[in-house]
Structure 1
């Protein structure tokens, strides 16, 4: 079964632009984290959000094309697989006009119990929300 893709759209703000006049690489990383959080919050209720939290284990990011102020972009994310306490999330940042992939990322996440910050096994209840 192919995982559901979650999307978010935005126009690149001036605050994202660096001295080279394109989006700074740190901003892309922030967007990768932001869309993951938006996806999680869109699929879970307050009870689940108050029980669990995700932490990043690692990010792998490829920068394909620069992005500039005021460009319209689409952020896409999906969970590809999970096992035990870990999950792998993919993100693409796409120029909405040209459909060029600007950035692609793969992030490994670990699910924790929010109160104890101890690893929590990903339950069927959680995994099925993202299929």
Structure 2
């Protein structure tokens, strides 16, 4: 099983297109966030989700090529370094073999009751540090 990475595919819809007739930058950000949420939902469980929540503290996105209406897009994500209360996540957005965009997001783990940052408990650290087998 591959815990550290996750991929999903989508087709660009009319709602994704802006006045320049390509995918709007905000849509790319949504794809980045969706990748993280979908991946985490596969890795986590109700116990963890009842105690903790993730918030974004930084996004960095680079755009290389535009995506257009009806393009088939692959969004791939993997977890980078995790330290203290922060975890890096990387996302690549592609059309076939062409890299359209890449992103690095820094997430912060919060205690769900206090909404304050919390150092990673072992149950979460084990998830974040799992690699391809």
Structure 2 length as normaliser, TM-score?
Answer: 0.91
Where 1:104 maps in the other structure, the secondary structure is: strand
Structure 2 runs not aligned, ≥5 long: none
Which portions of structure 1, spanning 4 or more consecutive aligned residues, are displaced by more than 2 angstroms? none
- Cα deviation, residue 3, structure 1: 7.2
Contact 1:59 1:105 in 2 (8 A): yes
1:3/1:64 CA distance change after superposition, 3 Å: farther
**1:26-60 CA distance string (max 9 Å, x none):** 11011111110111111111111111111111111
Give the 3-state SS of the residue equivalent to 2:92 in structure 1. Answer: strand
**Where in structure 1 are there 5+ consecutive unaligned residues?**
none
Which residue does 1:115 correspond to in 2?
A: 113
- Determine the structure 2 residue equivalent to 1:76: 76
Q: Secondary structure at the match of 2:69?
A: coil
3-state secondary structure, aligned to 1:107: strand
Counterpart of 2:16 in structure 1 is 16
Partner of 1:60: 60
Please report how far the alpha carbon of residue 125 of structure 1 lies from its aligned counterpart in structure 2 after TM superposition: 1.6
Q: Secondary structure at the match of 2:57?
A: strand
Give the drift of 1:114.
1.1
Partners of 2:3 and 2:43 within 8 A in 1: no
Query: SS where residue 120 of structure 2 aligns?
Result: coil
What TM-score, normalized by structure 1, do the two folds share?
0.92
Q: Tell me how far apart the structure 2 counterparts of residues 36 and 104 of structure 1 sit (CA, whole Å).
A: 13
